[in-house]
Amino acid sequence: MTAAWQRIADGVHVWRYPVLDVNVTVVSGDEATLVVDTLSTPAQAGRLRRALTELEPRRLVLVNTHAHFDHCFGNATLAGPDTEIWAHEATRRRLADRPGQVVAEAAARHAGDDPELAGLTAVTLLPPNRTVHEHAELDLGGRRVQLRYAGRGHSDGDLAVHVPDAGVLVLGDLLEVDAPPQFDDAYPISWPATLGRLLTDATGQVVPGHGAVVDAHHAERQRRELAELADRIAAGYATGAPLEQVWSTGPFDLATRREAAARGYAELTG
């Protein structure tokens, strides 16, 4: 499969890849080209590398928004020996400590989800080599981008990318469009406040980890749904309510609420 570049601002393009409907965002500077997220397999990342030639890339700089396979397993295909790969420190830890085990677990869980994902078994995982604690600024030549960590949410290491001169905010899986948010590694109680802190930077287009590019109003609506769900979970926990009572109603679908409630109780238990 392949995709077409969507220009969302001057020198900012999104490649919405059909398998898992995952987004790659590219920010072009005079000296460097920032590629945010690298897809799942060597074959997919190879297609991305070929598609990048249309954008006349400079030196590539990579960002992984978080440690899930569909956002970072293409690193080795895109990176040369000197390529910077940026991520939050928790994401690097997760990927660098036991890369072979990370690949084996992702392959065991997801290689059957789509014919292309059979390629997960062929991944050599190249972990990030530059880390962000809370904030970093990258100079791409003629434009600067901000990398920002605002707390736990979809995972323990979600990194957002803000392009101030274009008004673009890239949120990784802290925001999902056309599919419910994913809670399997999430911190449902922290998530809405984390997203809220990042959305103070949202003035124009907002790129989710999966699905269509939206505006700040759409992102704010999802933040309110996440907050409603977090409030339900926290209230249930405070009164000792059984989990099934917590997930019986509320925003998103039943399977999503069930996973969120279990993760939320675990987060509150600490």
Residues at the site binding Zn ion, with contacts judged by CB under 5 A: 68, 173
Please enumerate in sequence order all residues whose Cβ is within 8 A of that of 142, keeping only pairs 6 or more positions apart, or say none.
29, 30, 31
What does the DSSP 8-state code read for residue 118?
A: G
- For every residue of 163-174, DSSP letters joined together read EGGGTEEE-GGG
Shortest approach of Zn ion to residue 172 CB, angstroms?
A: 7
For residue 229, CA distances in Å to 6, 112, 126, 240, 253 come to 33, 31, 36, 16, 11
Distance of closest approach, residue 32 Cβ to Zn ion, in angstroms = 25
- CB neighbours (10 Å) of residue 196? 17
Of 83, 93, 103, 108, nearest in space to 42 by CA? 103
**Closest to Zn ion by CB, 146 or 182:** 182
156 vs 173 by CB, closer to Zn ion:
173
- Minimum CB separation of residue 184 from Zn ion in Å reads 8
Rounded CA gap, 212 and 210, in Å? 7
Q: Which lies closer to Zn ion via its Cβ, residue 101 or residue 245? A: 101
Report, in Å, the least distance between residue 100 CB and Zn ion. 20
Rank residues 173 and 267 by Cβ distance to Zn ion and give the closer one: 173
Q: Which is nearer to Zn ion, 65 or 77 (CB)?
A: 65
DSSP state at residue 112: T
For residues 188 and 32, what is the distance between their CA atoms, to the nearest angstrom? Answer: 36
* Rounded least distance, CB 165 to Zn ion, Å: 28
Shortest distance (Å) from residue 154 CB to Zn ion: 6
**Residue number with CB closer to Zn ion (161 or 166):** 161
Paired strand residues for 87: 131
Closest C-alpha among 211, 209, 182 to residue 109: 182
